[in-house]
Amino acid sequence: MRTALSARRTVLVRNTRGQAVRAPILLLSLCFACTAKLFAADSSSEAETLLAKMTLDEKIGQMVQVDSNALKDKADVKKFFLGSVLSGGGSDPPDNYPATWKKFADEFQSQALQTRLKIPLLYGIDAVHGHNNILGAVIFPHHIGMGATQDAALVERAERVTAEEVMGTGIRWAFAPCIAVARDARWGRSYESYGSSPDLVAELGAAAVRGLQGESLDKNSVLACAKHFAGDGGTLHGKDQGDTVCDEPTLRKMFVAPYDAAITAGVGSIMVSFNSWNGHKMHGNKHLLTEVLKGELRFQGFLVSDWAAIDQLGPDYKSDVEQSINAGLDMVMIPNGPGEKNNYAQFIAHLKVLVAEGKVSPARVDDAVRRILRVKFRMGLFQNPWTDAALTAKIGSPEHREVARECVRESLVLLKNSGRLLPLKKDVKRIAVVGRAADDLGMQCGGWTIDWQGKLGNVTPGGTTLLAALKKSVSPETEVTYSADGKDLKSAEVVIVVVGEKPYAETQGDRSNLDLSTDDARLIARARASAKRVVTVLYSGRPLVLGTALEQSDAFIAAWLPGTEGLGVADVLFGDCAPRGKLPRPWPASNGDLCVDHSSSKPQFAAGFGLTYGYRVSQK
Ligand code: BGC
Ligand code: BGC
């Protein structure tokens, strides 16, 4: 694999004992060239001219991003000169279909265009594995599966498809890619990470940025947002929003390095992380946000906060605003509206007072607004505040689904294949499929699908479960039987067991025990007891502790959270394509082994492991 981090440079930093040590700063020269390309003189001077005309109220408005659910009155966009609106995981229009989304986003935009200076709005959404909030959009494998493909060109193509689907709903900003380096599988966001190696994350993260934005930020771009800066995947015990404890050289090498690669790829926005570093919240860390990101790494885009994350700084909201803006935040994500605490009107009032009191300098406000305006100019938002309705029709199209199916095929990791059971023949007499996950699109997709937490069942139209895919793939004479609990297996030649984690997102996914569930273990044991050959397919956002399930299966596939295109799994099971995925992190053998930094014993499988069929079949 090509590594994006070969051209290392170093800078002097202090470690926890206060000693000066060298730490890598990567690709600085390339970085200069790239940011110059990203923010050419034209957009800077246009931004400068506009900035000079703006009142303080207009400037502060640009720095505010409000969740659509909190905006009870859309006219508040105009009233407060808001720079951005987002839809969080649960903030959909009442009818959650593409055309409604476009209308919804356009209504907010028309409010912004009625302001004195007509500065267009930037609408943001969590399109983190495809345009995942929208019914009928194609859902890609979560990042951990894309990490298993180890294929930067494929990641880039997948994100281009996502960008088209996002633009089809009137939206120009995706809160992606997540370039967390997940070190501890207990972390509920492990599946949002490409893997446990900073080199892999850097390479695929940069590819994702290119896919969303293109070679440079322009009128065809969806603005990417590398997140969450920094150390989100390194917290103690894998606790979401927890504390990452390490010295600065380690932080840079492990968690900052992927941001350097993203900046080199031209990323226009970066989201700051909920987590702390050595006990201090990232949202108040001026050294890392301003000195390192904007200074050393020459990041020219803007920094956005995470969801109400500044509220955790304390002791009160005014001080949250002061600390975060002075630390270097340019835009603040606010999920609260009228009648709620820490709402957008309060943020605006506080920031205004802080400027009047001299606690936040006018220069700091100008820097923030300049950065936001530069991105908006560069993206051609002033000329084209509306997106192309022709793209709406392409959402969930067969061509888009084909790319996702390819991603699924490439993401599967074959962990075991005794007696070369796989690939299966398409003309065996009878295949018994068991396990709820085989026929549950929601489990196949995981969290961040339609709902923030994801959900069980038929979550979105247009997808194919593995059961449906198997039925489509076999010869006409072959019978595919299905039972969730695996009751009757007698007449089958082979049993395919599909098991795994139920959907979750963020903190709700934190677990200290990653054993396969007892029901799933029992199902595999039952399949084994039938004396048939057993293939197990596991859907999970991270490696689970397999126990006897591995011995009891003749073949075992880690399929991660593949998304809507179950046909990609069938392609590999039947050998239309050989498995090529490689583990993007070590696979632990026990619950004592879930953190790669503190594992005491040998993993069950090392990072990079993945079997294949020993032949390469032509692609479909
Ligand atoms: C998550 C972010 C996400 C944001 C907006 C936060 O809770 O940490 O990843 O982009 O919400 O939905
Ligand atoms: C929102 C998510 C957000 C989360 C943060 C949820 O209600 O839908 O987008 O990330 O809250 O806590």
Please state, as a whole number, how many other Cβ atoms lie within 10 Å of the Cβ of residue 464: 21
Whether residue 224 is found in the same domain as residue 328: yes
Return the structure tokens found at 435: 């396990």
Whether residue 61 is found in the same domain as residue 141: yes
User: Reduced to 3 states, what is the DSSP secondary structure of residue 98?
Assistant: helix
Whether residue 52 is found in the same domain as residue 129: yes
User: Reduced to 3 states, what is the DSSP secondary structure of residue 400?
Assistant: helix
Tell me if 7 is assigned to some domain: no
Tell me if 609 is assigned to some domain: no
Whether residue 242 is found in the same domain as residue 360: yes
CA distance 208 to 178: 9
DSSP string for residues in 244-295: E---HHHHIIIIIHHHHHHHHTT--EEEEPS-EETTEEGGG-HIIIIIIIII
Whether residue 97 is found in the same domain as residue 166: yes
Tell me if 188 is assigned to some domain: yes
In sequence order, the 6+-apart residues with CB closer than 8 A to the CB of 403 are 138, 157, 158, 161
Confidence check: pLDDT of 555 > 70: yes
Question: pLDDT, tens digit, for every residue of 445-461?
Answer: 999 999 999 999 999 99
The pLDDT score that the predictor gives to residue 29 is: 37
Q: What angle do CA 404, 406, 407 make, to 5 degrees?
A: 65
Tell me if 324 is assigned to some domain: yes
Whether residue 343 is found in the same domain as residue 223: yes
The pLDDT score that the predictor gives to residue 22 is: 52
Which residue's C-alpha comes closest to atom 11 of ligand 1? 307
Confidence of residue 600 (pLDDT cuts 50, 70, 90): confident
Tell me if 331 is assigned to some domain: yes
518: containing domain: 412-598
Please state, as a whole number, how many other Cβ atoms lie within 10 Å of the Cβ of residue 114: 11
The pLDDT score that the predictor gives to residue 438 is: 98
Confidence of residue 619 (pLDDT cuts 50, 70, 90): very low
Whether residue 461 is preceded by a cis peptide bond, meaning omega within 30 degrees of 0, is: no
Whether residue 303 is found in the same domain as residue 450: no
- CATH number for the domain including 367? 3.20.20.300
Is this prediction's pTM over 0.85?
yes
Whether residue 173 is found in the same domain as residue 268: yes
Look over the chain and give the mean of its residue pLDDT values, rounded to a whole number. Answer: 93
Q: Which of 192, 306, 510, 576 is catalytic?
A: 306
Q: Is 306 a catalytic residue?
A: yes
Question: pLDDT, tens digit, for every residue of 345-403?
Answer: 999 999 999 999 999 999 999 999 999 999 999 999 999 999 899 999 999 999 999 99
Whether residue 334 is found in the same domain as residue 435: no
Tally of domains in the chain: 2
Q: Exposed (0-12), middle (13-18) or buried (19+): which is 395, by Cβ within 10 Å?
A: buried
Which residue's C-alpha comes closest to atom 5 of ligand 2? 307
Residue pair 303/330 in contact (Cβ under 8 Å)? The answer is yes
Ligand nearest to the CA of 508: 2
Quick one: CA dihedral 531, 537, 541, 544, positive or negative? positive
Confidence check: pLDDT of 24 > 60: no
Whether residue 301 is found in the same domain as residue 428: no
Whether residue 284 is found in the same domain as residue 340: yes
Q: Which of 76, 506, 510, 554 is catalytic?
A: 506
Which residue's C-alpha comes closest to atom 8 of ligand 1? 306
Mutation test residue for ligand 1: of 306, 311, 332, the one with most atoms within 8 Å of CB: 306
Q: What angle do CA 59, 69, 103 make, to 5 degrees?
A: 85
Whether residue 266 is found in the same domain as residue 156: yes
Tell me if 604 is assigned to some domain: no
How close is the Cα of 307 to the center of ligand 1, in Å? 6
Taking CA atoms, 85 is separated from 219, 333, 337, 421, 446, in Å, by 19, 9, 12, 52, 25
Q: Which residues contact ligand 2 via a Cβ below 6 A? A: 88-90, 307, 452
Question: Which region among 26-30, 238-242, 294-298, 552-556 has the lowest average model confidence (pLDDT)?
Answer: 26-30
Sequence letter at residue 585: R
Confidence check: pLDDT of 618 > 70: no
Ligand nearest to the CA of 143: 1
Residue pair 615/609 in contact (Cβ under 8 Å)? The answer is no
Residue pair 166/222 in contact (Cβ under 8 Å)? The answer is yes
- CATH number for the domain including 423? 3.40.50.1700
Confidence of residue 40 (pLDDT cuts 50, 70, 90): low
The pLDDT score that the predictor gives to residue 1 is: 37
The pLDDT score that the predictor gives to residue 38 is: 56
Which residue's C-alpha comes closest to atom 7 of ligand 1? 307
Return the structure tokens found at 496: 């395919």
Tell me if 583 is assigned to some domain: yes
- Determine the average pLDDT of the residues in 77-93: 97
Question: pLDDT, tens digit, for every residue of 194-252?
Answer: 999 999 999 999 999 999 999 999 999 999 999 999 999 999 999 999 999 999 999 99
CA distance 143 to 204: 9
Confidence of residue 490 (pLDDT cuts 50, 70, 90): confident
CA distance 510 to 25: 32
Mutation test residue for ligand 1: of 307, 452, 504, the one with most atoms within 8 Å of CB: 307
Tell me if 605 is assigned to some domain: no
Share of the chain above pLDDT 90, in %: 90
